[in-house]
A and B are shown apart, each in its own frame.
Chain A
């Protein structure tokens, strides 16, 4: 077991910079998830750690060793590929034995480890089958087993669940959680699925454009995003952004002119937003922090028209058009009875408001103290 440390890591392919100077500390025994849209550099980062790609610049440290020049087989890592990459001409048992045999492990230890791992993953009765005789979920287990049996310093997982159907994915997600609890092996996990990222991670690293946008505990990153990219990427449906001009009312309060409608800025943000007075500011509000308010409390109520109603079971997602013409989504209680065309009033939960600079995307209300607490 070991911690992994990336320092100013760069990977360039011909004319593309896939990884653009990232630094990341992956603590021992942690489950760190690299999450981001496709092409953000997360898989390349994982392959750099694995030793399947050579870093253009920067440093990769596994445990005490700098491994930049070490080949994959010298790094004491195990990887689970998105497509599982099981050896089709070998049985499940031989698939699992292969890595140990390559490392000259003694025969009795191999047998013991393979049996233990098979028991852990409940694949004992599959040991003599070939990969082609297994279902997708079983293949997935074997791929995991092949990694676990090696007892490596670090597990690397490249979207291991993305080829499973929805139900199996949720089930395997829970099992991965349990496995990590049991084995405590340092794990680096790549996914584009933010739900997977949120549920599995001790530490989440949101990536975009080859750079890490934010690192931290999942719930903290979710509630305290550093910029509009992170705010928009985490959460489904994603955060609403409403752009307006920041003004000061006659009463000395700050308000955001959303092009006709006025949004009152809570007093606690006054200090942070003061430099932006007269400038454009983007308000961020998550759909689940919007409530329908038919009675109409005067402050911070925005009239809107219901355009689409999507019942999703545990919640109902509404697509609405504000009177200012902007579109907005709200996630409301499934019992809410609204129909297309209904006029409603929206109330934004004042504790969940975020403000961003629309030019740079940076959060104006990001609280660095919270993140520090999270990473300690």
Chain B
């Protein structure tokens, strides 16, 4: 019965058109479900489609009516402009550095801290975990003034003076502050799901606790690490308010700020803004897709028999 597996048959079955093997009511429900999903997908993709076509229209066409959903004179000039007339290469570089560094710090510290909270029963571990996560419950906007003051006049060690204002480091520190609690929380819960007998088996097999963590537990925690990485990266990549307050020039400004700069007092340069938006969106999407492959369920499947 190999024909059963042909793409056409699979399509017929998915759409509920396989009248011989499905109940008629199932067929109707399937069609309804597919219809609703199709509408939802359209709603999600429309703004992205719209920003894309805007980015390849000449400025004159952007505001002309009626709206052209298929650009009449597609052009790449907007993309050339933002890299030649504006330092979009700097902005992209800043965004990459800030987001990747933040992500690396968060998954490194989040993993070891989460593991400790999951495995070690130390004095005050519950209240410590709560206070770490609780600090994150404060709306970030409420912390803008203290962050601005601390970054402008940081308490440096050894009588050094200097300011972190308008540096990538200021953004990295700020974003780490906001993402690390989440990272710890996610990783703690992820490790809780890995049976402790695996740590113990590794120790019996000749590992120290650290080796058991690195050689056995960490490889199993990849999905948790990937989820943490995606969250931290996307937060840092998209963050706007703190970047706006803590940076002022192309040496530290990130893509969200760069895109917003096309909004002037009396004029919005929609075509270039759209091109900048596409540039800002792409790496985030690629990063997400790359790490998404590690978020697979059942990585611990077969480890223990419940």
Contact = CB atoms under 8 A, between A and B. Distances in A.
Interface residues of A, number: 33
Contacts of B303: 83-88, 131
A163 B305 contact: yes
A72 B202 CA distance: 10
Identify the interface centre among B198, B208, B220, B304: most chain A CB within 10 Å of its CB.
Answer: B304
B204 A72 contact: yes
B304 A83 contact: yes
A297 B306 CA distance: 54
B207 interface: yes
A130 B302 contact: yes
A132 B303 CA distance: 7
B289 interface: no
Interface string A64-77: 00000001110001
A99 interface: yes
Nearest to B216: A87
B80 interface: no
B201 A85 contact: yes
Contacts of A150: 205
A83 B303 CA distance: 8
A87 B198 contact: yes
Contacts of B200: 50, 52, 72, 79, 81, 85
Contacts of B203: 51-52, 71-73
Interface in A60-118: 71-73, 77-79, 81-89, 98-99, 102-103
A73 B198 contact: no
B305 A83 contact: yes
Given A73-B204, A73-B205, A77-B204, A83 B220 contact: no
Interface string B116-150: 00000000000000000000000000000000000
Contact of B305 (A77, A84, A98, A102): A84
B301 interface: yes
Given A88-B299, A134-B302, 16 more contacts: A51-B203, A52-B204, A73-B203, A79-B200, A83-B197, A83-B305, A85-B197, A85-B200, A85-B303, A86-B302, A86-B304, A88-B300, A98-B205, A131-B302, A132-B302, A146-B205
Interface of B: 195, 197-198, 200-208, 211, 216, 219-220, 298-306
Interface of A: 50-52, 71-73, 77-79, 81-89, 98-99, 102-103, 130-134, 136, 139-140, 146, 150, 163
22 contacts: A50-B200, A50-B204, A51-B204, A72-B203, A72-B204, A73-B207, A81-B197, A81-B304, A84-B304, A85-B303, A87-B201, A87-B220, A88-B300, A89-B299, A98-B202, A98-B205, A99-B206, A102-B207, A132-B298, A132-B302, A133-B302, A136-B305
